[in-house]
Every structure is written in structure tokens, then in C-alpha cells.
Structure 1
Amino acid sequence: MEGSAPPPVPSPPIHPSILPLSYLLGKWRGEGEGGYPTINSFKYGEELLFSHSGKPVIAYSQKTWKLASGEPMHAESGYWRPKPDGSIEVVIAQSTGLVEVQKGSFDAEKRTVTLQSELVGNASKVKEISRVFKVADGELSYVVQMATQLNTLQPHLKAVLRKL
């Protein structure tokens, strides 16, 4: 038929490797706040997307905006690779040019993921980043800590999001 849309492509089955983190899959939206000893504190809106293609990896993307104006702020994307032993490897590329290679662990029962940077590349000031994600009562919350040349690991970002 001319002009008709192609049939929708069914979602692939979830790979067994990512099944323990399948509660993350989907789009989340909410608000957060940030700060650091060297910057003014700020509030932001945020959207996270966790998706899969049927492979043993979760695709991750994030974008933030200024709450007052809707002006874009930060964006990043990457891949989460959970392992059967409860460990996880994550790579993230940020819109600022910074790249993170993180390793950590997840607890499917407690619905938590804890990440610690192994490498922070192309970052003149940032030396270390840690991230802790938790899903409870229908909300995804996280805390990001950061260390720079001038400061040890300290709180930088925190947010609470709800699944759309």
C-alpha cells in the first residue's frame, strides 16, 4: 500500500545478562540539584533513558535542562554491561568531552547500582567520579560525587526521577 506506515518492530527479548537490571529499562524524568565547592549550587530538570537491543548491554542516555527556562544544560550517553557475578562495567561520554570508564556492582534485590571511575579521560580538572543509583517506591534516585585537582571526592549532583 502506498503511503502506509511500516508495521511496528517488536521489542527484542531482554538478554538474560540484563534481566537483573530490567527494572531500570524505560524513560525516567524528574528534578535534581547540584553544587560543588568551586561552583554555585543549581537546580535542573532531567530525563534518563535506559534501553536494550536484545544484546547483553543496556544503552543509557541522559539530558538536563534549567528548570526556569528549559535551556539545555548537560547531556551524556553510554553503555552499562552487567556481569553474572553482580559486577558491572559502564562507559559514559559527556557532551563536555569528558569520558568515564566505571566499574562497580549491582544488587538486583535492593535495586542499587554503585559505580566508581576507573578512568576519567579528557578532563583537565576532574580526577574521579562515583555514582550510586537506587530504585525504591517507584522512584529512581542517584548521587554523583566528584573529585578534582583541588578537592577530594565530594557530593556534586543528586536527583529523584519517576518512570514515564
Structure 2
Amino acid sequence: MDANVDSPAPESSSPPLLHPALASLSFLLGTWRGQGEGGYPTINSFSYGEELHFSHLPNKPVIRYTQKTWKLSSGEPMHAESGYWRPKPDSTIEVVIAQSTGLVEVQKGTYSTSEKVIQLQSEIVGNASKVKEIRRSFQVIDGNLCYDVQMATHTITLQPHLKAVLKKI
């Protein structure tokens, strides 16, 4: 066996190459921070601080995604999730997200590079006793990343749940 196969790549001072499949969503790459609002028919409304981070793996057709939220008043952590986004050449996208609550989402959707819009719809919501469906919509407007999340449970139809406006830092 070639010893170089299992060895890590040598350190390089140049940034990792962006896989060509990610060029259409390169506008997402980086760290975004801002504030959001949440609510649902079964909970009180709330506000939160949030940070999203999108990065790419060297020469791989996937975007790594991490998210964390905190209480604005105290900075206390509220929620976190992470996953991977896989854009396809036909403007479709596959996304997997694992939440700190134990819930896992497998989503599919579409994206528009010219409009900087991504629409996601849950295919599977795993390990969820109540959540039946999740939809996420992202759009860059005037340099801000704006998103909203809708959610349905087994007893409540699809309703607004979260929305935020984030600036690239």
C-alpha cells in the first residue's frame, strides 16, 4: 500500500481549492451574525442572537454548516446545529442537519444563484416525537442573509417558527 494514501496532505499556505460544484453558492461562505425572533402556537415568542458559519472542505463538493443561538439578555446558549449542504448542477440541493435537541433533518430543495435564494423542504425529520415537517428559506437581500423556518407538528399545520437577519462578519 502506498504510504501517502493514509497520510494527511502536506500543510500549505494557500487556501483550500473551492470545488467547482460550490461556485454557485459561494456567496454563503463565511460567518454571518445577527438577531432573530421565534414563536409557535404552543410557545411564547422570543428573541435570540445567532451565528451561522458556512465553510467548504478542500476539493469536496460539500459545504459544512454550523449554527448557534444565544439569549440576547445573558449570552446563555440556546440551540446549536450542524450539517452539510450538497448543491447539484441542476440547481437542486441536499441538506442534512443534526440539532442539539437530537432531532435530525434530511432536506431537499432548490437554489437560485442569480436571486441568491435557497428553498428547503424536509424529506425526513428523524428522532422527533412531535415535529412532522420543517421548511427553511434563505435569501441574501442587500448583503444580509435573511431566513425563515416554518414547522408542522402532528397536531398543528405548517406555521412560522423562526426568522432572522444576519450580516457577514
**TM-score normalised by structure 1 residue count:** 0.94
The equivalent residue for 1:120 is 125
The equivalent residue for 1:39 is 43
Aligned structure 1 segments of 4 or more residues deviating by more than 3 angstroms: none
Change (3 A) 1:8 1:40: farther
Segments of structure 1 that go 5 or more residues without pairing to the other structure are 1-6
Distance 2:153 2:45 in 1: 17
Code of the aligned partner of 2:26: S
Distance 1:9 1:123 in 2: 43
What are the superposed Cα offsets for residues 90-112 of structure 1, whole Å, 9 maximum, x if unpaired? 00000000000000000000000
Of Structure 1 and Structure 2, which has the larger fraction of its residues in helix? 2
Say what the alpha-carbon RMSD is for the aligned residues. 1.0
Code of the aligned partner of 1:50: F
The equivalent residue for 1:17 is 21
Segments of structure 2 that go 5 or more residues without pairing to the other structure are 1-10
**TM-score normalised by structure 2 residue count:** 0.92
Shift of 1:8: 6.8
**2:97 maps to 1:97:** no
Secondary structure in 2 matching 1:89: strand
Secondary structure in 1 matching 2:129: coil
The equivalent residue for 1:4 is none
Residues 72-87 of structure 1: pairs in structure 2 closer than 5 A: 72-87=77-92
Percentage of matched positions with identical amino acids: 71
Change (3 A) 1:65 1:90: same
Distance 2:18 2:117 in 1: 19
